[in-house]
Amino acid sequence: MSDKNNREPIADADQRHQSVFRIKPDSTEPASPLNELRAEALAYGIALELEMRLDGTSVSIPAPGGLKPVGDTSLPRQAQDILQELLTKHYLKLVEAVNRERRTRGQKAIEDAAVLAKRQADFEKAYYGKLRDSEEGRRVVDLLKAWRGRLIMEQHGWCSKEDSARIALLEPLLHSMRALGHDAGWGGIQPVEFFTLLAKAALMLDTRVRSSKATFGAGDFDLNTWLLQYGITIAGTPTHTVRELNEQFVSKFHSISDKKLHERLHELGIPHRDEPRGKASPNYGKLLNLPPQRKKLGKF
C-alpha cells in the first residue's frame, strides 16, 4: 500500500521573503520544512512546488512560470548547483518531518539520527563559517547568499526581474537603515550589529569566491560543503574511489592530494569505493619499478 503524500500549499511569495526563510521553532507540521525550502529557493528566483513522501523521498515540480527542478536537464547546471546546496541545507529538517509522521503511523524512522545530526553540524560549520554559532549571523549569511544567488539568476535570464522580489530581499537592509539610532532592527537585530554581521558575511563570501576555481553554483566554494552535498546525492552508496572522485570532480575546482581527500571523506563520514588491488590497480607496475626483462641468447 502506498504512503499518503504531504503536499505543500502555495502561499504568498512576498510574505515568505520578508520572513527570510525562517519558520516558527514550534512548528511540527510535515509541510513546514517544505515551506521554508520553497521560500528560500524562491528568494533565489527558483519557483518550486514540493511534495514529500513518507518513505523519505521528495519530488520537485516546477511552479507555473518557474524553473524546472534539480535533475531536469533543462535546468541550467549552475542553477542546479545552487538548488542542490539549498536541498542539502534543509535535508535534516525534511527527514525529521518525515520521521515525525512515520512515528505516528508506527513506522520505522529513516536514516540514523546521530549520523544526520553530525552531517548537519558539519554542513553548517562549512556553510556559515565563524558565524555558525550566532543565529543572527546565520540569518545575515542566508540573506547575503540569497542576494548573490538572485543576481546570478537574473544576469543569466533564468528568472524574471520582479521589483516585488527585489524589494522583499532588500527589506532587511532598509529596515536596519530606518532603525539606526533605535534599539529594534530587522528580526530583532540591532542596526549596528546587523551591518557588522553583514560586513563579516561579505568578507567570508568574498574570500571564498576569490580563492576558488569553481564556476558552478554561486561561486563561493567550500570543499566540505561540496563533499557533503555529494554525500547526500549518492545516498550512502559508495560510488567513486578517492582517486576517481578527485580526478573527475574535486581537482576541477580545488587542489588536494588523494591522501588528504581520503582523510576528509572519513572525517565527514562520506563513503567511497575501495581502489582495486593487484593487477587491476591503476598503480600496478608503477610502484614496483621493475627493470625490463633481458632476452635469453643461445641454448642453455
Q: What is the pLDDT of residues 169-227, one digit of tens each?
A: 777 887 787 777 776 767 778 888 889 999 999 999 888 888 777 666 677 778 898 89
Count Cβ neighbours within 10 Å for each residue of 264-298 and write b for 16 or more, e otherwise.
bbeebebebeeeeeeeeeeeeeeeeeeeeeeeeee
Checking if the pLDDT of 292 tops 60, the result is: no
Among 104, 110, 10, residue whose Cα is nearest residue 58? 110
Checking if the pLDDT of 149 tops 90, the result is: no
**How far is Cα 238 from Cα 251, in angstroms, rounded to an integer?**
19
Q: Which of 124-128, 136-140, 208-212, 272-276 has the lowest mean pLDDT?
A: 208-212
Checking if the pLDDT of 260 tops 90, the result is: yes
**How far is Cα 131 from Cα 137, in angstroms, rounded to an integer?**
5
pLDDT at res. 121: 92
**How far is Cα 54 from Cα 60, in angstroms, rounded to an integer?**
15
Task: Name which residue leads in pLDDT, 171 or 6.
Answer: 171
**How far is Cα 274 from Cα 265, in angstroms, rounded to an integer?**
13
Checking if the pLDDT of 36 tops 80, the result is: yes
**Grid cell listed for 254:** 580545488
Q: Are strands 58-62 and 48-52 parallel, antiparallel or unpaired?
A: antiparallel
Task: Name which residue leads in pLDDT, 290 or 131.
Answer: 131
Q: What is the mean pLDDT of residues 122-147?
A: 91
Q: Please provide the DSSP assignment of 32-69 as one string.
A: HHHHHHHHHHHHHT--EEEEE-TTS-EEEEEPTTSPPP
For 69, other C-beta atoms within 10 Å of its C-beta total: 21
| Rounded alpha-carbon distances, angstroms, from residue 205 to 25, 47, 122, 198, 258 | 27, 25, 18, 11, 27
Q: What is the DSSP letter of 6?
A: E
The whole model's pTM is what?
0.71
**How far is Cα 166 from Cα 169, in angstroms, rounded to an integer?**
5
Is 214 in contact with 152 (CB distance < 8 Å)?
no
Q: What is the mean pLDDT of residues 17-40?
A: 59
Task: Name which residue leads in pLDDT, 283 or 119.
Answer: 119
